[in-house]
Structure 1
Amino acid sequence: MIKEAIDCIDAGTEYCPCKLAESGDCLLCSQLQGECFCDCLNWKGVCIYQELYNNGNKAKEGRKNYTCVVKEVTNYNDEVVMIKFEAPHKLAIDLVRPGSYVFVRTDENNYFDIPISIMNSNIENNIITILIEIRGIKTKNILNIKEKENIVIRGPYWNGVFGLKNINAQKGGKSLILAKGIGVAPMMPVIRKLIAQDNDVKVVVDKNPFENTFGEEFLSEYSLKANEYDLLEQGKLSDHCKVIIKEALKEGVKYIHIAGADILTYNVIQYLDKLDRKDVLLSCCNNFKMCCGEGVCGACTARFSGHRVKRFCKEQSNPRSIFEGRRFI
């Protein structure tokens, strides 16, 4: 059993206390969970109970909608669309960190917005880049977006990556990035953070099921080039991927970021356990379904042994913990 500290991505920010605190479901505050004593699960420097009281027992104002001007649209065979839009300066700063994402609205209806990870946020010109895979009814409307038109977004949100503490802990070391498909988008802010902390970064990309890797433009800014290999074969780690991981460990890599579906993350964790390398720190994409982004609707919840329910649009977790004790039924 992995012992983990419960952490809320919004605790101590301008968006705390939130609706969960108002309803008595705060992730951290024991008193707001109905307990008699103060036993905060993870002290973040701010008393959430006191903040709620000072705010009239009401939640803080939530995220805002922003109407932004689209600067550039690149369509890749109607499968993937890259959009660059201009945002307010503060929003651009807030979306720099790894795990940042926004909700993009493609219709006037407030319920038809889509959670999309930030690929790049340029704080010098306030241009934000997102990469969207066209999959369903809502994302199909993305194909109608044109340059110089407006796009409505809601944000900022920050829990798009698990293992943020492990990313922040990497300083002057060696890191391995394993990305597959659309995962190249959320890997970019992670790489930016690692480079800023003087890390030597190796990037391996599996572009399947697409023809493009999409990330060359931003990787070139860091003088990086992605090595292309198949990371999965029939739902299992490919031989190439196993060799890449083994060689990286021999070279002194002690941190791996996995930017792909849960099946890739799960298989990498299983392989590291087989090598008896539980000391390797990990981070990965948050692939749980997002709907409201505030932990209220329940779309992001997962149930674990011991009748535990985790709201993964709010709760920051270690990648190894999201599979341990998880109930798949």
Structure 2
Amino acid sequence: MIKETVDCIDAGTEYCPCKLAESGQCLICSQCQGECFCDCLNWKGVCIYQELNNNGYKAKEGRKTYDCNVENVIKYDDNIVIIKFKAPHKLALDLVKPGSYIFIKTDENKYFDVPISIMNSDIDNDIITVAVEIRGIKTTKLKNINANENISIRGPYWNGVFGLKNILAQNNNKCLILARGIGLAPMMPVIRKLIYQNNEINIVIDKSPFETNIAKELLNDYSTKYTEKILLDKGNLSDYAKVVIKDALNDGVNYIHVAGADILTYNIINYLNDIDRNDVMLSCCNNFKMCCGEGICGACTARFAGHKVRRFCKEQADPRSIFEGRRFI
């Protein structure tokens, strides 16, 4: 069983306390949950209850919506669009960290906003890059956006990657990155952070189902070597992926970042269990559905054993724990 401290991505930030605390559903603070005693699940240096009291028992002002100018649009294969837009400097700074994402407005109704992970945030020029896979009604509207038009975005949000503490723990180490499909986009801030922390990185990319490696330009900018191979074969971890993982572990790697769909993360966790390497630290993409980004609407919730409900747009988790004890019915 995975034992971990409950952590909220917004705790201690300018967006805390949030609507959950206001409604008695704070992830961290026992008193904000209606209890009599202080039994904080994960102290962040700030008393959430005191902040709520100081703010008149109301939530702090939420994320703002920004109208940004589109600098460039690159379209690949009719099913993926890369959008670069100019943003306020503070927003660019806030979106540098791994796991950052925004909501892009496609309609007047805010619930039609599209959650998109940040691919790159250039803080020198305040240019933010996102990659959008065209899948449904909302993302289809983004196919028609052009340079020099305005794009309306809401942010910043930060829980796009699980296992952030494992990323921050990597210093002067050897790391393995396994990425597939649209996961190549949220992979880039993780790589940037690992490079900044002086880590040696081995990157394996499976560009399926796309024909183009959408991260090629940024990887070249970072002067980072990578290999393009198949990671999933008919829904199972490929033989090549198993060899790469085993060789990396034998070479001293003790941390793996998985950038892809849940099926890739799930297969890698099972493989590590099979070879008795539960000690390997992991991080992965947060693939839960997002709608409001504030834990209110319930789109990001999952139910676990013991009738436990977890709000994954805010709750930071270890990749292994998002599958263990999870109820699928």
TM-score (norm 1): 0.99
Give 2:29's aligned amino acid: C
Q: What letter corresponds to residue 41 of structure 2 in structure 1? A: L
Instruction: Name the structure 2 match of 1:151.
Output: 151
The 2-side partners of 1:175 and 1:90 are apart by: 30
- For residues 65-120 of structure 1, the C-alpha deviation after alignment (integer angstroms, 9 at most, x for no partner) is 00000000001121000000000000000000000000001223322210000000
Contact 1:204 1:229 in 2 (8 A): yes
The equivalent residue for 1:208 is 208
| Residue of structure 2 equivalent to 1:259 | 259
Partner Cα separation in structure 2 for residue 201 and residue 226 of structure 1: 9
Separation in 2 of the partners of 1:264 and 1:112? 28
Name the SS of the counterpart of 1:156 in structure 2: strand
AA paired with 1:9?
A: I
Which residue of the partner structure matches residue 130 of structure 2? 130
Q: Deviations over 1:22-45 (max 9, x none)?
A: 000000000111111100000000
Is 2:165 the partner of 1:165? Answer: yes
CA distance in 2, matches of 1:2, 1:139: 36
Kept in 2: contact 1:80–1:134 (CA 8 A)? yes
Partner of 2:138, secondary structure, is helix
CA distance in 1, matches of 2:327, 2:199: 36
User: 1:170 touches 1:197 (CA, 8 Å); kept in 2?
Assistant: yes
- Indicate the residue corresponding to 1:5 in structure 2: 5
Task: Determine the structure 2 residue equivalent to 1:37.
Answer: 37
Worse-superposed segment, 95-104 or 110-119: 110-119
Write the letter of the residue equivalent to 1:35. E
C-alpha displacement at 1:235, in angstroms? 1.0
Q: Which residue is 1:237 aligned to?
A: 237
Equivalent pair of 1:216/1:225 in contact (CA under 8 Å): no
- 2-side partners of 1:159 and 1:111: how far apart? 19
Q: In structure 2, what is the Cα distance between the partners aligned to 1:301 and 1:97?
A: 24
For the Cα contact (< 8 Å) 2:77–2:211, is it kept in 1? no
SS at match of 1:31: coil
Q: Identify unmatched segments of 5+ residues in structure 1.
A: none
CA distance in 1, matches of 2:3, 2:177: 26
Helix, strand or coil at the partner of 1:17: coil
Aligned counterparts of 1:234 and 1:217: Cα–Cα separation in 2: 29
Task: Give the CA deviation at 1:133.
Answer: 0.2
Distance in 2 (CA, whole Å) between partners of 1:18 and 1:108 is 24
Listed as ranges, the matches of 1:264-283 within 5 Å are 264-283=264-283
* Contact 2:106–2:142 (CA under 8 A) maintained in structure 1: yes
C-alpha separation between the residues in 2 aligned to 1:37 and 1:71?
52
Structure 1 counterpart SS, 2:32: helix
Residue in 2 that maps onto 1:139: 139
Q: Classify the secondary structure of the residue corresponding to 1:4.
A: coil
Residues in 2 aligned to 1:280 and 1:190: alpha-carbon distance in whole angstroms? 17
Q: Which residue of structure 2 aligns with residue 49 of structure 1?
A: 49
- Secondary structure of the 1:32 match is coil
